[in-house]
Amino acid sequence: MTKVSPSILSADFANLERDCKMVMDKGADMLHIDVMDGVFVPNISIGIPVVKSLRKKSDAFFDVHLMIIKPHLYAEQFCKAGADLVSFHIESESDVQETIDIIKNCGKKAGIVIKPATPAEAVFPYLDQLDLVLVMSVEPGFGGQSFMESALPKLKAISEEAAKRGLSDLYIEVDGGINETTGRQCAQAGANLLVAGSYVFGAQDVAAAIESLKI
């Protein structure tokens, strides 16, 4: 069954503690925390102080997605602030191996993210060291975008490569335009972790929305 990681980018930031607790109480498996620097992506979201503050109020698993230009400079700080898993973009300016090592040395789980134009094979050299691969099914930066079907063959390729290597615990995550229909497509292609923002936080029945993604 797929797990669900609601993106707090779609939460009410004035009531972040309340909204995070609400989605966890209604069946979410973890919280997806999007960190944007306004340079790597054309938007600015939240940073280390918010993660640190939220950690004091929540025992949820924090799935922190760094959409920043130099993740190696900040990965350790996010780990110390309370992230359980830190993922970063392979397209960033940081050395990939160095950034993985920083996260792992903090005792945390490490993930690599690929944008829509990046092929699945780009993550293969690092796959055995990773806890997660995140395939973006929209251009990163803003919530509420439409799902790009080009993500599906990438999910399939990563899933098949992980199976070939016996990496049964690898999270294969997808983020962008996820709803009941696209979530099912992604699960069939090999995803086992779905990020959903507006679909969950904007739902009239949040529990039903989350349940519909557990495929």
Residue 186 pLDDT more than 90? yes
Q: Which residues does residue 6 pair with via DSSP β-bridges, in sequence order? A: 196
pTM: 0.96
- Give the pLDDT confidence score for residue 54 in this predicted structure: 98
Rounded to an integer, the average pLDDT of 6-18 is 97
- pLDDT tens-digit profile of 38-90? 999 999 999 999 999 999 999 999 999 999 999 999 999 999 999 999 999 99
CATH number at residue 146: 3.20.20.70
Provide Rg for the chain, Cα atoms.
16
Strand order in the sheet with 171-175: 3-6, 193-196, 171-175, 132-136, 109-114, 85-89, 62-67, 31-36
User: Which amino acid does the sequence have at 175?
Assistant: D
Percent of the chain with pLDDT over 90: 96
Which two structure tokens, joined as six digits, stand for 58? Answer: 């929540």
- pLDDT tens-digit profile of 110-142? 999 999 999 999 999 999 999 999 999 999 877
Domain count, the chain: 1
Domain that holds residue 199: 3-212
Percent of the chain with pLDDT over 70: 100
What backbone torsions phi and psi does residue 13 show, to the nearest 5 degrees? -65, -20
- pLDDT tens-digit profile of 21-33? 999 999 999 999 9
Q: How many other C-beta atoms can be found within 10 angstroms of the C-beta atom of residue 205?
A: 10
Q: Is residue 176 left, alpha or beta, with left meaning phi > 0 and alpha meaning psi from -120 to 50?
A: left
Residue 144 pLDDT more than 90? no
Rounded to an integer, the average pLDDT of 156-166 is 98
Residues recognised as catalytic: 34, 175
Q: How many other C-beta atoms can be found within 10 angstroms of the C-beta atom of residue 90?
A: 16
